[in-house]
Chain A
């Protein structure tokens, strides 16, 4: 009887060990598959970025960067005016979007909570505003394009111009700026606010002398992210910017950004080498933007840790 018991225990033990072995083997197999998934993701990135930079790099030289594109169906010339247009558009869009986005974020984070308590209407309004930001972030860019085309290009008769494009582009990047600014404001410790209010400062004095300076790196992250989105965006500007290869001389002129130029080269001409060169310039810009975002956000975390 006792013997039997011991035997069964031993039997069970070995069962457990065998079972553990099976489980460990299955874990090893699945972990390898997950490593493979991570590796494939990395390879996809290296393949796309590497191919574009190496193939496109051949087309890039000083002349390519400094001569304007011929335009039309020729595909000849460089990218100078498209660089200029991109810069012009980025600055104009951010001039519109940044104050509005930062303002909205300040209200939603710093005033939203207390205002929601004042009346049910305010509470509903603030909830709807948050929902609207969420919705804006999910709307596809071609819809922003259609909207910009219907309102700015046609109804307001601004035509295909930098102004129409930057207004539509501002709607596109607004949620990015709002969300990153909100996150930055949330990381500012409440002690800062209380300390300032206790010294007799008004709410606004507290905000612009104490809270906002502490949130600046986060706000800058949002702005840099938006620069990236405007540089990469094509669909919105395809229907609002016109596509002229000339350098715009006023905000009422049309033009083409780097990304748009790439599209026209790839679709309307056979100048794939120049398209690839333009792509390489775009990819390098995006890499630089991502690097600077990481630097700024590292500084932000360091600052918060130091502050505590």
Chain B
């Protein structure tokens, strides 16, 4: 009898030890994400120190010429390229994405949702190289038809279209979540006051979901800034400031360009010394841009959820 109880006690402490051990192991995996983020920041910054000290902060950020052979490492043209293609993608992609989100969340009948939602999901899953290839084989030859001297088909327009399609599913699904998160009582209240469904959408639902929708657009911007391979494939990669090819300012979009991401990927495999370090500096700039973008999106999402919980 006594022996039995002792056996139980021993078994008990065995279970307790297992319980504690597992807790510590799980704790380590939980803080691993912190370690990885810090390690990424540390290693990319460490590798870029040589560039910041030897070339100089302003010469990298505001230098217009990137000629590794002549030790010129200005990335301003790439910053402009990344921003220009992102703006193009936002102009083309955001209206379509928000329209699709409103359609999915508020208007589409169930059977249409059952088709469109998996379609958006699939768009998000298609590899970026496939979008890039589609751009090279289909879009670039079409754009080349535009009769402007110096137009190769590769450039900001092709890149903006490809990028718009790539950010479409991101923005659509997050914006739809934001629209769905608006409580049904808001809609009922508005409809009861005699508003039409469209008035309810524009004057009640969209304002209530505003932060979430803006967050969706900002996350789309983050995705656009970070896209690499598809951009290399269709943007032409010349390190030049995008400028109009003739008197018509719209031909700006036929200009070739290079993105920050493309700069890294194209040259990292053969770069050495200060050249390699300058590519890591490009990475630091990109990393900083993305952190700012994501933190602001996160702040907006949190604000919306806190507004909704206090109102409810």
Q: Find chain B residues with CB under 8 A from A204 CB.
A: 15, 18-19, 22-23
Of B15, B103, B172, which contacts A34 at CB under 8 A? B103
State how many angstroms separate the Cβ of A52 from the closest Cβ of chain B. Answer: 6
Most chain B CB within a 10 A radius of its CB, from A111, A138, A145:
A138
Q: Do residues B43 and A150 form an inter-chain contact, with CB atoms below 8 A?
A: yes
Q: Is A239 an interface residue (CB 8 A)?
A: yes
Q: Do residues B96 and A40 form an inter-chain contact, with CB atoms below 8 A?
A: yes
State how many angstroms separate the Cβ of B244 from the closest Cβ of chain A. Answer: 27
- B171-208 CB contacts (< 8 Å) to partner A: 172, 196-199
State how many angstroms separate the Cβ of B98 from the closest Cβ of chain A. Answer: 8
Q: Given A235-B228, A239-B268, A283-B130, verify A146-B18 contact (CB < 8 Å).
A: no
State how many angstroms separate the Cβ of A254 from the closest Cβ of chain B. Answer: 12
Give a binary string over A191-213; 1 marks a CB under 8 Å from any B CB, 0 the rest.
00000000000111101000000
Assembled-state Cα–Cα distance A204/B36 (Å): 26
Residue on B with the closest CB to A171? B36
Q: Find chain A residues with CB under 8 A from B36 CB.
A: 132, 136, 171, 174
Mostly, the A contact residues are helix
Assembled-state Cα–Cα distance A139/B40 (Å): 10
Q: Find chain A residues with CB under 8 A from B100 CB.
A: 37-38, 40-41
Q: Is A143 an interface residue (CB 8 A)?
A: yes
Chain A, interface size category, equals 35 or more
Of B22, B40, B132, B137, which contacts A143 at CB under 8 A? B40
Q: Find chain A residues with CB under 8 A from B118 CB.
A: 290, 294
State how many angstroms separate the Cβ of A164 from the closest Cβ of chain B. Answer: 13
Of B31, B43, B133, B279, which contacts A266 at CB under 8 A? B133
Q: Find chain B residues with CB under 8 A from A151 CB.
A: 39, 43
- A127-144 CB contacts (< 8 Å) to partner B: 128-129, 132-136, 138-144
Q: Find chain B residues with CB under 8 A from A279 CB.
A: 127, 129-130, 133-134
Q: Is A91 an interface residue (CB 8 A)?
A: no
Residue on B with the closest CB to A101? B29
Give a binary string over A173-203; 1 marks a CB under 8 Å from any B CB, 0 the rest.
0110010000000000000000000000011
Q: Is B138 an interface residue (CB 8 A)?
A: yes
Assembled-state Cα–Cα distance A138/B174 (Å): 14
Assembled-state Cα–Cα distance A272/B196 (Å): 52
Q: Do residues B130 and A140 form an inter-chain contact, with CB atoms below 8 A?
A: no
Q: Is B291 an interface residue (CB 8 A)?
A: yes
Q: Do residues B33 and A129 form an inter-chain contact, with CB atoms below 8 A?
A: yes
Give a binary string over B9-45; 1 marks a CB under 8 Å from any A CB, 0 the rest.
0000001101100110111111111101101100110
Q: Is B115 an interface residue (CB 8 A)?
A: yes
- A61-101 CB contacts (< 8 Å) to partner B: 99-101
Q: A23-B198, A143-B290 are in contact. List 6 more A-B contacts (CB 8 A).
A: A36-B99, A41-B100, A42-B116, A132-B34, A175-B33, A289-B125
Between-chain CB contacts (< 8 Å), 8 pairs: A31-B198, A35-B107, A37-B103, A44-B168, A101-B29, A107-B26, A146-B280, A290-B118
Q: Chain B residues in contact with chain A, CB under 8 A?
A: 15-16, 18-19, 22-23, 25-34, 36-37, 39-40, 43-44, 46-47, 95-96, 99-100, 102-104, 106-108, 112, 115-116, 118-123, 125-134, 136-138, 165, 168, 172, 196-199, 219, 222, 225-229, 232-233, 261, 264-265, 268-269, 279-280, 283, 286-287, 290-291, 293-294, 298
Q: Chain A residues in contact with chain B, CB under 8 A?
A: 23-24, 26-27, 30-31, 33-38, 40-42, 44-45, 48-49, 51-52, 55, 99-101, 103-104, 106-108, 111-112, 115, 125-126, 128-129, 132-136, 138-147, 149-151, 155, 171, 174-175, 178, 202-205, 207, 228, 231-235, 238-239, 259, 262-263, 266-267, 272, 275-276, 279, 282-283, 286-287, 289-290, 294
4 A-B pairs closest in CB distance: A140-B226, A37-B99, A103-B29, A232-B127
